[in-house]
Amino acid sequence: MFVDQARIVVRGGVGGNGCVSFRREKFVPRGGPDGGPGGDGGSVWLVADRSLKALNAFRYVRTYGAERGRHGEGSGRAGRDGDDLIIRVPPGTVVLAGDGATVIADLVHEGDRFLAAKGGQGGRGNSAFATSTHQAPREAEDGTPGEEHELLLELKLIADVGLIGFPNAGKSTLISRISAARPKIADYPFTTLEPHLGMVDLGQFRTFIVADIPGLIEGAHAGHGLGTKFLRHVERTRVLLHLVDISLTSGRDPLHDLEVINRELAAFSPALASKPQVVIATKIDTHPPPERTHSLQARCQEAGVPFRAISAVTGEGLRDLLETVWPIVQQATKSGGEALEPNEEERPFS
């Protein structure tokens, strides 16, 4: 099972208490207070680790606490600090407050760290309270509690290219032909229930990562079908490959499907709708009427969007498609691949 969302509670360790102690030794007539301070509690850190691919580790364990600090001791001995707790998460993990509305951290790159809960501070021992007028203090401080937070973790896959389209548009078949990914392929809707990543190698050190996003339907931005569960994975991609089924057996209208998916992208995130797109007419091996392809191609030319027709089954058009996508990926990478608050006219199909 691919887990891409988890709610956890993190607690910093409690600080150790300070000690009340007095020096009592032979031949030391003026022994005084010598209680040491308590140790600080450990903190909880989230660290991005590329060896992880999902949030499955949080499926059963929801509460994480760092070690508490040890209490102070006599002879001025300080308590040991509690060990920090390191929680490893996959790169691309977004950390939100418990209400799910506020983004606290975004761990995108390997090694990115976030202090999720700071440990409590150790209390002072009675030796810290000694003064010239208060030479035998009998007070010490208790350690302070560590921070406690409820966090919502969301994983957004990091890929160069995202495959989008209606269920059964041919996304899984395409990624299985152009990479080593092997998603489940069948002739019924929602065959793919979790995203898949694949590495495309064009030779001459030209590679990019493709994400197969489970099928979207009308109303996905409002939670219909698989809803927003997988729409957020497309946000990390730089280029969108929009697959449209033009076969007659699907019983679908290609132009309608194109417009519906683009409306869903815009409703979910205007920045997402402004990403570079390549529209792909799939299943040309079924020999659909030419007007289905031509009408779709004309709409793309009107919007200034690249258009390609392929058959992932026979391999027709695949090489041309990949060579078309490569420079677009390069350009999007140089520009950062992010579109913030785009204008309406910046969207390909506005």
**Domain boundary residue, one of 112, 131, 155:** 155
Lowest mean pLDDT among 24-33, 143-152, 275-284, 312-321: 24-33
Residue 51 pLDDT greater than 60, yes or no:
yes
Considering the domain architecture, whether residues 33 and 176 belong to the same structural domain is answered as no
Residue 72 pLDDT greater than 80, yes or no:
yes
Q: Which two tokens stand for residue 103?
A: 């983004």
Band of residue 52 on the pLDDT scale cut at 50, 70, 90:
confident
Q: What is the pLDDT of residue 146?
A: 96
Considering the domain architecture, whether residues 17 and 104 belong to the same structural domain is answered as yes
Q: What is the pLDDT of residue 17?
A: 97
Residue 339 pLDDT greater than 50, yes or no:
no
pLDDT digits (tens, 9 = 90+) for 128-156: 999 988 888 999 999 999 999 999 998 88
Considering the domain architecture, whether residues 177 and 150 belong to the same structural domain is answered as no
- pTM equals 0.70
Work out the angle at residue 256's Cα, subtended by the Cα atoms of residues 252 and 258, and round it to the nearest 5 degrees: 105
pLDDT digits (tens, 9 = 90+) for 279-288: 999 999 999 9
Q: What is the pLDDT of residue 231?
A: 67
CATH number reported for the structural domain that contains residue 9 in this entry: 2.70.210.12
Considering the domain architecture, whether residues 27 and 10 belong to the same structural domain is answered as yes
**Domain boundary residue, one of 138, 155, 172:** 155
Percent of the chain with pLDDT over 90: 51
Lowest mean pLDDT among 100-104, 239-243, 318-322, 325-329: 100-104
Considering the domain architecture, whether residues 194 and 326 belong to the same structural domain is answered as yes
* Residues spanned by the domain of 184: 161-346
Q: What is the pLDDT of residue 267?
A: 84
Alpha helices in 12-153 (DSSP H): none
* Adjacency order of strands within the sheet including 5-11: 63-65, 5-11, 148-155, 93-97, 103-107
Contact, 182 vs 279, CB < 8 A? Answer: no
Considering the domain architecture, whether residues 307 and 250 belong to the same structural domain is answered as yes
Q: Which amino acid is at 260?
A: V
Band of residue 190 on the pLDDT scale cut at 50, 70, 90:
very low
CATH number reported for the structural domain that contains residue 332 in this entry: 3.40.50.300
Rounded Cα distance between 40 and 146, Å, is 9
Q: Which amino acid is at 305?
A: V
More confident residue, 187 or 47: 47
Question: DSSP labels for 264-306?
Answer: HHHHH-HHHHTS-EEEEEE-GGG---HHHHHHHHHHHHHHT--
Q: Which amino acid is at 344?
A: E
Q: What is the pLDDT of residue 340?
A: 39
Residue 168 pLDDT greater than 70, yes or no:
yes
Considering the domain architecture, whether residues 333 and 192 belong to the same structural domain is answered as yes
Number of domains in the chain: 2
Q: Which two tokens stand for residue 60?
A: 């059963």
Band of residue 184 on the pLDDT scale cut at 50, 70, 90:
low
- Average pLDDT, stretch 51-58? 86
**Domain boundary residue, one of 131, 155, 179:** 155
Is the sign of the CA dihedral 198, 276, 5, 14 positive or negative?
Answer: positive
Question: DSSP labels for 166-181?
Answer: STTSSHHHHHHHHSS-
From the list 148, 144, 127, the residue with the least C-alpha distance to 65 is 148
Considering the domain architecture, whether residues 304 and 185 belong to the same structural domain is answered as yes
Average pLDDT, the chain: 85
Mention every residue, 6+ apart, whose C-beta is less than 8 A from residue 159. 197, 209, 210, 211, 236, 237
Considering the domain architecture, whether residues 75 and 102 belong to the same structural domain is answered as yes
pLDDT digits (tens, 9 = 90+) for 78-130: 999 999 999 999 888 999 998 888 999 999 889 999 999 999 999 999 999 99
Band of residue 321 on the pLDDT scale cut at 50, 70, 90:
very high
Considering the domain architecture, whether residues 193 and 318 belong to the same structural domain is answered as yes
Q: What is the pLDDT of residue 225?
A: 43
Considering the domain architecture, whether residues 340 and 240 belong to the same structural domain is answered as yes
Rounded Cα distance between 318 and 323, Å, is 9
Considering the domain architecture, whether residues 68 and 44 belong to the same structural domain is answered as yes
